[in-house]
Amino acid sequence: LPDWADAWVPKALVLLVVCIFVIWIPLRRSRLGLSIYAIGSDELAAFRSGVPVARTRIVAYALSGLFAALGGLSLTISTGIGAPIPGPYLLASVAAVVLGGVALGGGKGGLLGPIIAVFVLRLVRTDLTLLAIDPNVTAIIEGAIMVAVVMFGAFITIRGRQAGATP
């Protein structure tokens, strides 16, 4: 980055943009990315379409492990310590994925939704901290938000199925 941008652009934001392009473009445009989405959507249909299900699943798990390791490494670099306990990050990461619209069963989701959800959850946590709310209550509020969003998503899915079933 130029010298003038160092004061205005956080390095974490630059890293986020680079990661989005390094992950999102291949995920949407490559055969592997499309195979992952196909398997998540309907494994049997993907198999019948000629997708190598076992190999794709192994590669997906390997990539998940790689990105989890990179996330842990970046957390260790930013905090300066390595703790073997998940701490507050486990609920926040699952909440961001769920709030971002990724189906935990697979086949639905993207990259931009969870990133926006991370910003929203961080904003909620910051606001609750500024209001001097107990951190334990903050975790309860985040959990309640996640449950409400999952319930709303399930309600929308059920309504869509009912609307599609009736002529």
Q: Are 90 and 75 in contact (CB under 8 A)?
A: no
Same domain, 76 and 96: no
- The pLDDT assigned to 62 comes to 95
> CB neighbours of 138 closer than 8 A, spacing ≥ 6?
125, 128, 129
pLDDT in tens, 99-110: 888 877 666 777
pTM: 0.68
Do 2 and 71 lie in one domain? The reply is: yes
pLDDT of residue 1: 56
> Cβ of 130: how many Cβ atoms within 10 Å?
8
Residues 91 and 167 in one domain: yes
Are residues 56 and 110 part of one domain? Answer: no
| First-residue to last-residue Cα distance in the chain | 58
Please identify every stretch of the chain with a pLDDT value under 70, giving residue numbers as ranges.
Answer: 1-7, 86-88, 105-107, 164-167
Residue-wise pLDDT for 63-98, tens only, equals: 989 988 888 887 787 777 777 776 667 777 887 888
Comparing CA positions, the residue from 144, 155, 153, 152 lying closest to residue 121 is 144
For 13, the domain range is 1-84
> How many Å separate Cα 100 from the centre of its chain?
6
Cα 39 to Cα 4, 36, 65, 151, distances in angstroms: 46, 5, 18, 25
So what's the pLDDT on residue 91?
Answer: 73
Q: Which of 60, 84, 108 is the last residue of a domain?
A: 84
Under a CB-based contact definition with an 8 Å cutoff, are residues 49 and 56 in contact? Answer: no
**79 plus 22 within the same structural domain:** yes
Tokens of 23: 């992950």
Let me know whether 73 and 151 are in one domain. no
Please check whether residues 74 and 130 belong to one and the same domain: no
Please tell me the distance from the alpha carbon of residue 122 to that of residue 124, in angstroms, as a whole number: 5
Task: Compute how many other C-beta atoms are within 10 angstroms of the C-beta atom of residue 57.
Answer: 14
Q: Quote the pLDDT of residue 122.
A: 84
